[in-house]
Amino acid sequence: MPNPAPVPDHVPPDLVRDFSYFTGPGMCPMRGGDPQGALADLHDGPPVFYAPNNTYDGYGTWVFVRAEDQRRVLQDAETFSSHRRIFEKALGYDLPTIPLEIDPPEHGAYRSLLNPLLSPKRVMAMEAANRARAAELIDGLAAKGHCEVMTDFAFPFAVGVFLEFLGLPQSRREEFLGWADKQFHGTPEERGEAIRTVIAFMEELVALRRREPAEDFMTFVVEARVGGRAMTDKEAVGMGALLFVAGLDTVAAAIGFDFRYLAENADAQDRLRADPGGIVLAVEELLRMFPTVLMTRIAACDTEFDGIAIKAGDRISCPSMVANRDPAEFPDPNRIDLARENNRHVAFAYGPHRCLGSHLARRELVIAMEEWLKRIPAFRITPGTAPLTYGGHVFGIEDLRLDWEVG
């Protein structure tokens, strides 16, 4: 990890805390860890603190602990900008991912264009194809009696849905997975290379769909008008790039954490098999307990938050996994209650940048669990193994080995 940036002068020393999403206890890569649970005790400390070395490239961030404070930050996108220039370092120029890295008011036009493509009703129309994809993958595993969930099911399923949405052939799955893996979990050099590869791919796709329109996402984007003018190539690339960043491994990781929980809790499996109607609420509760994404914002101007001076350019981290265990928001927050009501968790963020793909993601998680429990009998983590878990900008789980009786 690069040398950390110095703590800025305006940060009071008593708010500086030794804390990192990458190397902290429970969040560094380890076998059988609980990276989300490792953060639960932040509610015993100050509501806002400063972590001097808390990004993959060595920047400090403020960390906002309480759900109510995260809501204030994330709803105020003009003060707390989402334009983080995440690709600038790799590309040598800024290429905002859209709509995530565009702030209001410009944000609204892009968002209105894309919202209908991923609205709850539109997602319902994708249901049958997504369910068939899950069923086919699981049917291929059932008779084996064991599998590694991420490679054998979660990634092929999530990436398959993504490729179909983008109008790309399924044959490119492995290639995309390799890029995603490097971009999210590689060294800074590997990340840079993966980002350049993805951008080059999107540039080719934009050019192709301008030349040869098809019935797909990128054709829709390049033919769309925004603010009364034609979409530029750079904007279309920024939209494709965002789908890649946001849609590839987040859903897969969520499936992994869900199945790990079920594997370790046979009674929960039994209950949901007997009452599949409970799966919708169960998925919400597991999204609350095991969300995978941290929201990061950059102060657009000098501001003050409950007496704390925040300077333009400061990074503000809103960890969903912490807000989701706020006792002021959720009674008995560290207890998993698969039938929990009023579960207004923040797995998909608050504010105008609420996850555009949230409705699709939710259905993927529900479909994955329903089809799995229908086809696979009581399953457990294969004795002698433990999944690899890690924190970071996107929390994850790998090497999740399950087995079950065949007969």
φ, ψ of residue 50 in degrees (nearest 5): -120, 125
Closer CB to other proteins, residue 54 or residue 82? 82
Cβ 116 to other proteins shortest distance, Å: 5
Cα–Cα distance measured from residue 277 to residue 297, given in angstroms and rounded to the nearest whole number = 37
Closer CB to other proteins, residue 345 or residue 401? 345
* 16 bridge partner residues: 50
Closer CB to other proteins, residue 75 or residue 385? 75
Helix or strand run (H / E) with residue 297: strand 294-299
SS3 302: coil
Residues in the chain: 407
Closer CB to other proteins, residue 33 or residue 351? 351
Closer CB to other proteins, residue 272 or residue 283? 283
Compute the C-alpha angle 251/347/120, nearest 5°.
70
Closer CB to other proteins, residue 118 or residue 397? 118
SS3 51: strand
Cβ 170 to other proteins shortest distance, Å: 28
Burial 109-141 (b: 16+ CB within 10 A, else e): ebbebbeeebeeeebeebeeebbebbbebbeeb
Q: Tabulate helix, strand, coil % of the chain (nearest 5).
A: 50, 15, 40
Cβ 43 to other proteins shortest distance, Å: 19
Q: What is the DSSP string of 10-41?
A: TS-GGGB----TTTSTTTSSEET--TTGGGGG
Cβ 102 to other proteins shortest distance, Å: 15
Cβ 209 to other proteins shortest distance, Å: 23
Cα–Cα distance measured from residue 50 to residue 309, given in angstroms and rounded to the nearest whole number = 12
Segment 113-121 long-range contacts (CB within 8 Å, at least 24 positions apart): 113/224, 113/226, 114/239, 114/356, 115/356, 117/217, 117/220, 118/356, 118/357, 118/359, 118/360, 119/359, 120/359
Cβ 145 to other proteins shortest distance, Å: 36
Q: Tokens at residue 386, please?
A: 């433990």
Cβ 186 to other proteins shortest distance, Å: 32
Cβ 344 to other proteins shortest distance, Å: 4
Closer CB to other proteins, residue 48 or residue 118? 118
CA nearest to 30, candidates 399, 288, 379, 402:
399
Cβ 23 to other proteins shortest distance, Å: 31
Residues that bind other proteins (CB under 8 A): 71, 75, 112, 115-116, 118-121, 280, 341-346, 348, 350-352, 354, 358-359
Cβ 119 to other proteins shortest distance, Å: 4
Closer CB to other proteins, residue 31 or residue 354? 354
SS3 383: coil
Closer CB to other proteins, residue 184 or residue 330? 330
Cα–Cα distance measured from residue 19 to residue 25, given in angstroms and rounded to the nearest whole number = 9
Cα–Cα distance measured from residue 300 to residue 30, given in angstroms and rounded to the nearest whole number = 36
Closer CB to other proteins, residue 81 or residue 389? 81
* 309 bridge partner residues: 304
Q: What is the DSSP letter of 4?
A: P
